[in-house]
Structure 1
Amino acid sequence: MNRELFEAMETLADEKGIDREVLYEALDAALVSAYKKNFNSKTNVRVELDSDDNTMKVFSRRVVVDEVEDEDLEVSLEDAQQIDPSYELEDVVEHEVTPQDFGRIAAQAAKQVVTQRVREAERGVIYNDFVDRLDDIIIGTVQRMDNRYLYIHLGKVEGKLPTNEVMPGESYQVHDRIKVYVTKVENTSKGPQVYVSRTHPGLLKRLFEIEVPEIYEGIVDIMSVSREAGDRSKISVHADDPEIDPVGSCVGQRGQRVQTVVDELNGEKIDIVHYSEDPVVYISNALSPSKVIDVLVDEEEHATTVIVPDDQLSLAIGKKGQNARLAARLTGWKIDIKSESEANEEGTSDEAESELADQVEEDEEV
């Protein structure tokens, strides 16, 4: 019986990918519980497991004291020293009390406890696997849906895709395959809960990392992403090596790389811009495809006023302010856009020209 029990433990460990120590700790606790229940014992006991010899032994444990108040838990110093003269107060005296038919009783009693521990350990393995996939893309299959979630089969666990994080215009049927971005992993009493998204900016970033080897290898860095899922996004990129064109790397030959990302996002428009530490240059780039005449920077307010040609104003602002909004999120600066004629009327243009002239003089002096 003992050999079969140990073999079953080894099989469980191999099949479930669970650490053997976890299983043996569970078995240990189960055997202690089984002994106390079946033999009405109040004594503290310790179980010794030996998987090499397929043996299970139970030892009672009593503390050495001057005056015994509970014979189940304590032993006098005099009696202890009759067993071994080296015993002193507060030592623990152990004595084997393994019942003859303990193997059969242990197997029956341990089954439920070990099964529970196995389930918990298995959940822990799954949780750790998916924690490692946090902020990453994973491919799953649509399993079912309700008003709140699409439930995505991700292998050992079911991912939850909130309906408000499905891209506008997308619709899915059961068994459809889908790429999702892992946003949160929780370890709950019901097992690991994995939440995923199709609208998160991280999805766009990870897609570029997959499609652009220079990003994956760290030659090109993605500095920032702003996204209005299903409609339009902006991404800023940078390369330390001046010989590398970060934008060209992301676009790819004949636009193949960026088109692959666009196709995955069902036609979402993507602006790829050069990052710069100079806010004037960075914001000018971020407002692409519009042209920019000048950018006035207010460092204290972390705000800018951008002057654009009159015929570029609507392009710079974008439909319902989208272009300006995405540029502001991308750069982290407040952006107020004015046409050239409006700036001239307010005197903003003259101020910009004066600042630009001062900057030129400083550059010349340097």
Structure 2
Amino acid sequence: MDSVEFLEALKEIVKSKGVDEDIMYEALEAALIAGYKKDNATAENVHVEVDKEKGIVKLFAVKKVVDNVQDPRLEISLDDALKINPVITVGDKVTVEVTPKKFGRIAAQTAKGVVVQRLREAERNVVYKEFINREHDIITGIVQRMENKNIYIDLGKTEAILPPTEQTPNEEYKQGDRLKVYVLEVKNTSKGPQIFVSRSHPGMIKRLFELEVPEIFDGIVQIKSVSREAGYRSKIAVYSKDPEVDPIGACVGPKGMRVQAIVNELRGEKIDIVNWSEDPKEFISQALSPAKVISVDVNLEEKIAKVIVPDNQLSLAIGKEGQNARLAAKLTGWKIDIKSETQSKNE
């Protein structure tokens, strides 16, 4: 491969991969110097000039002008130096073109290898910069394969890893499935960026509502807290800065369309939307929805709340296997002790 062919190939790489052209030409220059030195077993000071338009590459070496040349790799005679610069003298340094008529196979291979390496580094850097800014955001990809219980998701420029600990119980992931995932962490490793994603993180609920509900995106409605048992049920506490805007109604949407779109994305996971309040009694009462609450007695120091509910609401307040009470406790940050009206009277 001559220099013209190599430059044309390089231009094609730059164009197809969308990598910074300057980075690639710097890589080419470094590669050609390395290749030339390897081919010529020389330690001379070599630099490269690349004519990007004509596809011409020239190699130059800096040599010292001497009376008697001992090492032609590092030195040049005065007579030869005067042909380049008519005012030069012994002891000066002169730049001499040392471009071989054809780049040797080793030089070309070295250049190609280094360019490929730099290309990979540049591509990895582009991908890392793109995805490091997407941490704690939602991205869409296509399920590619499963290895050691990890799900690998194709994101176009790279792939993400959905570990078993971040998968949602009862969800099946099939090759070719289009999937929304929450970006947990982006690591820059020697093998390139590693992107870890989740389907079970509470942050996914928050971001889905931010994307689906304009009032949240605009900052009118705020999500104050989220609790989640992925695949089964979630609770979100919302608050409106504008008294004219109903935060629950905004999240539910016309005919329930907004919340239903999120439920569908989460493949049927139930979502309770409750009003947030700075009054812990009110907030705890709301958090136990859909159960009705008679009274809430709070211990502020220990953050323990004793809740009394009607007899027919006890099982609803506690929930199946205690789920409703657990989610309410996570949502509020309070330990909640629930008793029926009859139980409280008999104490």
Output aligned runs, 1:34-183, within 5 Å: 34-52=35-53, 54-60=55-61, 83=88, 93=93, 95-101=95-101, 103=103, 106-183=107-184
**Counterpart-to-counterpart distance in 2, 1:250 and 1:270:** 11
- Quote the offset at 1:220 in angstroms: 1.6
Q: CA separation of 1:260/1:61 partners in 2, compared to 1, >3 Å: closer, same or farther? A: same
**Percentage identity across aligned positions?**
55
Per the normalisation by structure 1, the TM-score is: 0.78
Q: CA separation of 1:40/1:245 partners in 2, compared to 1, >3 Å: closer, same or farther? A: same
Give the partner amino acid of 2:243: P
**Counterpart-to-counterpart distance in 1, 2:132 and 2:10:** 27
- Quote the offset at 1:114 in angstroms: 0.7
Q: CA RMSD in A?
A: 3.2
- Quote the offset at 1:191 in angstroms: 3.1
Name the counterpart of 1:304. 304
Q: CA separation of 1:73/1:96 partners in 2, compared to 1, >3 Å: closer, same or farther? A: closer
Output aligned runs, 1:207-286, within 5 Å: 207-286=208-287
Question: In the TM superposition, what whole-angstrom CA distance separates every residue of 1:310-329 from its partner, at most 9, and x where no partner exists?
Answer: 41333322222211211121
Name the counterpart of 2:329. 328
Give the partner amino acid of 1:271: D
Name the counterpart of 2:206. 205
Q: CA separation of 1:220/1:94 partners in 2, compared to 1, >3 Å: closer, same or farther? A: farther
Question: In the TM superposition, what whole-angstrom CA distance separates every residue of 1:63-114 from its partner, at most 9, and x where no partner exists?
Answer: 9xxxxxx998899xxxxxx9489x8xxxxx5623423426566544311111
Q: CA separation of 1:296/1:42 partners in 2, compared to 1, >3 Å: closer, same or farther? A: same
Matched-pair contact (CA < 8 Å) for 1:295–1:304 = no
- Quote the offset at 1:342 in angstroms: 4.9
**Counterpart-to-counterpart distance in 2, 1:18 and 1:278:** 55
Q: CA separation of 1:23/1:94 partners in 2, compared to 1, >3 Å: closer, same or farther? A: farther
More displaced 10-residue stretch of structure 1: 231-240 or 140-149:
140-149
SS at match of 2:136: coil
- Quote the offset at 1:332 in angstroms: 2.3
Give the partner amino acid of 1:306: K
Q: CA separation of 1:4/1:313 partners in 2, compared to 1, >3 Å: closer, same or farther? A: same
**Counterpart-to-counterpart distance in 2, 1:161 and 1:258:** 25
More displaced 10-residue stretch of structure 1: 20-29 or 125-134:
125-134
Matched-pair contact (CA < 8 Å) for 1:141–1:177 = yes
Report the number of matched residues: 330
Matched-pair contact (CA < 8 Å) for 2:305–2:334 = no
Q: CA separation of 1:249/1:95 partners in 2, compared to 1, >3 Å: closer, same or farther? A: same
- Quote the offset at 1:267 in angstroms: 2.0
Q: CA separation of 1:40/1:269 partners in 2, compared to 1, >3 Å: closer, same or farther? A: same
Name the counterpart of 2:21. 20
SS at match of 1:178: strand
Structure 2 segments unaligned to the other structure (5+ residues): 65-70, 77-86
Name the counterpart of 2:84. none
Matched-pair contact (CA < 8 Å) for 1:290–1:316 = yes
Matched-pair contact (CA < 8 Å) for 1:223–1:237 = yes
Give the partner amino acid of 1:150: I
Matched-pair contact (CA < 8 Å) for 2:63–2:96 = no
Q: CA separation of 1:117/1:285 partners in 2, compared to 1, >3 Å: closer, same or farther? A: same
Q: CA separation of 1:94/1:251 partners in 2, compared to 1, >3 Å: closer, same or farther? A: farther
More displaced 10-residue stretch of structure 1: 337-346 or 197-206:
337-346
Name the counterpart of 1:356. none
- Quote the offset at 1:331 in angstroms: 1.9
**Counterpart-to-counterpart distance in 2, 1:187 and 1:115:** 19
Name the counterpart of 2:320. 319
Question: In the TM superposition, what whole-angstrom CA distance separates every residue of 1:135-165 from its partner, at most 9, and x where no partner exists?
Answer: 2223332222244212222223232222343
More displaced 10-residue stretch of structure 1: 110-119 or 49-58:
49-58
Matched-pair contact (CA < 8 Å) for 1:140–1:154 = yes
**Counterpart-to-counterpart distance in 2, 1:142 and 1:207:** 20
**Counterpart-to-counterpart distance in 1, 2:128 and 2:158:** 9
